[in-house]
Chains A and B, each alone.
Chain A
């Protein structure tokens, strides 16, 4: 086989793998669901046009030249998309380094590794761009329908920022690898990916709260201060915004820049990719020294189970980071709470739904880890205690952690408004219990390391968990503002839970 033919063959192999991984993600790994997944995806994309219209429809008539505030908002939105793509690309790169089972085969084959890894880098870029195109389609469609075909250039912007995000992700991961070593890179890269994904939105919210006392992200972007600080209209910084509006020259320059960047990364890192991979496999499982001999703890089997769950959570920083990442979203409302002590803003009511929502989502993640993510399922199943006691011990762990995390926030709220604190505490307990119950009804046996895939094991459970958290968050907020509406919202959420239970496999 010639070198070109080998590369083409390998590129086809990579694309097939990427397609199957994506399909497995969409179908939860179950065969025979391909058609349903495709139909579901098309339906989802069609439905997404509605919120896309609500969010972006009014901007379809925008024409160049734009004022600075508009340029800032568009550029910030594109930067947010880039940050999310970077986050996804970092995850893809770490997956290639740490999770692909074919690395030994590739490394031991007689092909030129630099070429093979160039293809793999290109495949990462392609998968990131494909996903971004898929998600951006409803938004661009709305703009094209409302503002004309010039908005098709927005697809080009998505491709350009996808190329640069993939290039940046590979560079960041390899630099991290060299700076902190293979064992820490996985954790740091994945935390980085999550922080990059959420950080930009949160930073804007924090800036808005500190400056304007509001949770709106646009308050900072449309402020006079931002306009004064922003560079001149002709600046390179506005190229993505101009390109999205149909400026052909800016778009070509962006696409060329993205390709050059990715090409440069390939040229610089493809050759050393192999060394990096070897480094990862050589250090995949570093020997962690545990504590020296301590006396065995006495107590009941349930105590042993609780202790095990706490130790496993504490010792897995990756899982902890994945689980607690949702708490990042609590930073802005916590900041707002702190500010409300100095000026009694009515906006403090907004804190309750955010806290309740975070509690529900966190409880769902923890419940999956403790109930479904049991690495020694046979051992626990053969232990001489009833299954109900095992389950109870695991639920206790979830509720203890939720209590420990949210009690300080509720206590702080107590000083601002005792009624709001009471409502928040009750709603946190109900949201956590609901999310835990859903995980219990939809439990599946899995390894803890499959945590990231938990959403794909049951789409129904994922949606039910999200709707339940949103429902209880809305109910709590309404209880503070319009109690009668809270009753209706509460009943609807309870109805969602009842319907979820009715169709859950545990009941069947």
Chain B
């Protein structure tokens, strides 16, 4: 029997701006996995994910989403994905419900399905009292929650999040983490970049460490510890050790 395709398979992904941002990156993420991509500022995390989401075209390499070539069949690949950036880009003059209606419309979701789903999502993220207020008065955290709800309303199989917890208070962050955990348990795949290593440590099935556009380590926390010979160290210490080693090598 043919094995199920990976949720995401990236091969030789390369992107150069003024310098090499992503350097022939290979990455495989299994279906139903929570994958955290960590790395120092400017390591190439966001550039990688933007290429996967179809927001930027790679100079070389391939991206397959559930076996679909995302570069030659972008529409089919995008149908299965959702993208949330660290800077929530929503419409100030729409209410959260209207924003979700628009997103559901873009993904061609039946209104009868999307309306209750949108309502439930917003309420579960604590936006119940603000359903009919325009987003222009919202704090960054509230805007981030609206953007996240927008990403979930079309029930994607692969959710790509770039620093989704930036600007969220502790309660909101817990809501978001809970929501993402629920999605993974229901079979959805999540890829997330984060600077909050504690979140990666607690939530991710596997962690990828990226530096200078290359994947320098990957695995579960235990595997990462074993790879580096520190059996009881925290992810933060591991991360610093890995990044320092990479910097010294460069």
Contacts and interface: CB of A to CB of B under 8 A. Distances in A.
B48 to A, nearest CB: 15
Contacts of A305: 105-106
B71 to A, nearest CB: 14
A27 to B, nearest CB: 21
A443 to B, nearest CB: 16
B70 to A, nearest CB: 11
A446 to B, nearest CB: 12
B134 A316 contact: no
Contacts of B54: 381-382
Interface residues of B, number: 41
Most-contacted residue by chain A among B90, B93, B114, B119 (CB, 10 A): B93
A312 B94 contact: yes
Contacts of B102: 304, 307-308
B108 A378 contact: no
Interface in B4-62: 53-55
Given A288-B134, A381-B55, A296 B94 contact: no
Contacts of B83: 378-379, 382
B137 A376 contact: no
A287 B108 contact: no
B174 interface: no
The SS class assigned to the A binding surface is loop
Given A299-B105, A380-B106, A375 B132 contact: no
Contacts of A293: 97, 119, 131-132
B163 interface: no
A301 interface: yes
Interface in A474-501: none
A288 B95 CA distance: 9
B97 to A, nearest CB: 7
B92 interface: yes
A293 B118 CA distance: 11
Interface in B180-239: none
A296 B78 contact: no
Nearest to B116: A296
Contact of B106 (A285, A304, A375): A304
A307 B114 CA distance: 17
Contact of B90 (A287, A289, A307, A376): A376
A288 B133 contact: yes
Interface in B82-135: 82-83, 85, 89-95, 97-98, 101-108, 110-111, 114-115, 118-119, 131-134
6 contacts: A289-B133, A295-B111, A304-B101, A305-B106, A382-B82, A382-B83
Interface of B: 53-55, 75-76, 78-79, 81-83, 85, 89-95, 97-98, 101-108, 110-111, 114-115, 118-119, 131-134, 136-137, 150
